[in-house]
Each structure stands twice: as structure tokens, then as C-alpha cells.
Amino acid sequence: MPVEVHVVTPERELWSGTSTLLIARGVDGEVGIQAGHIPLLVQLAIGALRIQREDQDELVAVVDGGFMHVTSSTEGVTRVDVMASYAEFVSEIDLPAARARAERMHELLTQNHDTQVAEADLVAAKAELKKALTRIGLAG
């Protein structure tokens, strides 16, 4: 029995359909979901979301945090809702823009030694660098 999957962001529904296996990166590591999985709530990290479909190519998206909620109905249907802050398929990634973003964030982080940058700005820059490097790693 396949897993019912819905991947949504605040802006759009990225994808919905059925999967034989879904692999996501949580803040504590990767987790795989197949039919019959127990209910689960996972805080997502920046990383790949892999959706394996029966007799079709694997779908790969990059997810910038959020949550994954796994439920099972009384009929035994496993449903996965991925509620991401932002997500896009690898085929949608603008590789030159991701490289430029990574370079800008790297410069900002290395220049911090010479200037006073607020801690919150450093945390945000590190997250943006990780997002850009994840996109480059998946699409490049």
C-alpha cells in the first residue's frame, strides 16, 4: 500500500501523490517513511526531501525547514504532510543564483572578524549559506 504524501509551503502546494518511500532530513538526522509507519512529528532541517514512487523516477526537493507529520487512518492508510518554510524541486533550482548567494554569505561570515555584526545576523547568514550549499549540492 502506498503512502499518501502532501508537500506544502506557505506559498503553494509543491506536490501531492503517492510514494513507496519518503526520506527527509530532520534536525536529529534522516528519517524514512513507508506504509504502516507509526504516527510521528519531525522538525525538518535544511536538506533533501526524497520521494520514491513505484515505477517512476525519484522526486528530489530541497526543504528549508518546517515539519513533517505522519499519520495512519483506521483503514491503514499512511499519510505524510510536509509543511516546509520553503521548498523547491531540484529541477527548479537556479544554480547561478545559489552559487552567488553562497558566495555573498561566505563573504559576510568571513568579514565578521573585521566588523561588528549582530549575532542574529550571523545565525541568519549561516542558515542562508547552508540553504545555498544544499541547493548547489543537489543541483550541481
Q: How far apart are CA 55 and CA 112, in angstroms?
A: 50
Domain segments of the chain as ranges = 3-91, 95-139
- pLDDT tens digit sequence for 10-24: 999 999 999 999 999
CATH class of 3-91: mainly beta
- pLDDT tens digit sequence for 36-66: 999 999 999 999 999 999 989 999 999 999 9
Tell me, what's the pLDDT at 116? 66
CB crowding 102-119: b at 16 or more within 10 Å, else e: beebeebbeeeeeeeeee
Enter the pTM of the model: 0.89
- pLDDT tens digit sequence for 80-131: 999 999 999 999 999 999 999 999 999 988 876 556 667 888 889 999 999 9
